[in-house]
Amino acid sequence: MRSGRSHAGRELVLYVFPRGGEEPARLGLSVSRKVGGAVERNTVKRMLREAFAQLQERFPRGTDVVVIARPGAGELAEREGMGGIKSALGTLIDKVPGAIAAPVPGDAPAGGPRLFGESTGAGAA
C-alpha cells in the first residue's frame, strides 16, 4: 500500500502520493454514481481534468494525485461551472505540503502582463 496525504473539502477529496523523480504530477479520478447520472459524472470528470491541467504546476513534481468527487461535486459543477470546480481543487492544493501557493489576484509582478489598451506611461501620446 502506498503512503500519501489526503485533504478533504465539501465536494472533493484530494490524495497526493510521492512518486519520486522530476516528472510533472499525474492525475487519477474517481467519480461514483452518487455524483449523478452518466452525463453529470462525465461533465464533472471533464471539468476536473481541465482544472488539474490549469493548476498542475502548483503540485510538487514527482507526485501522483487522485481526486475523488463527492456527491456535492455534481451540484457545484451545475451551480458554479468550471470556476467552482477549479476553486474547490485550488483550495485543496493550498493544503498540500510543498505545493506552490496560489497567486494573489491583482498582485502581478512589476514587468507583468498588461491589459489591452493599458498604457505603460512612457511615450504615451
Total domains in the chain come to 1
Per-residue pLDDT tens listing for the chain (125 residues)? 567 888 999 999 999 999 888 899 999 999 999 999 999 999 999 999 999 999 999 998 999 999 999 999 999 999 999 999 999 999 999 988 888 887 766 655 555 555 555 555 555 54
Let me know if residue 16 belongs to a domain: yes
DSSP for residue 41: H
Q: How, if at all, do strands 12-18 and 5-8 pair?
A: antiparallel
**Nine cell digits for residue 28:** 487519477
* Three-class secondary structure of residue 77 per DSSP: helix
User: 10 Å Cβ neighbour count for 117?
Assistant: 5
Distance of CA 94 to the CA centre of its chain: 10
Let me know if residue 98 belongs to a domain: no
CATH code of residue 84: 3.30.230.10
Let me know if residue 58 belongs to a domain: yes
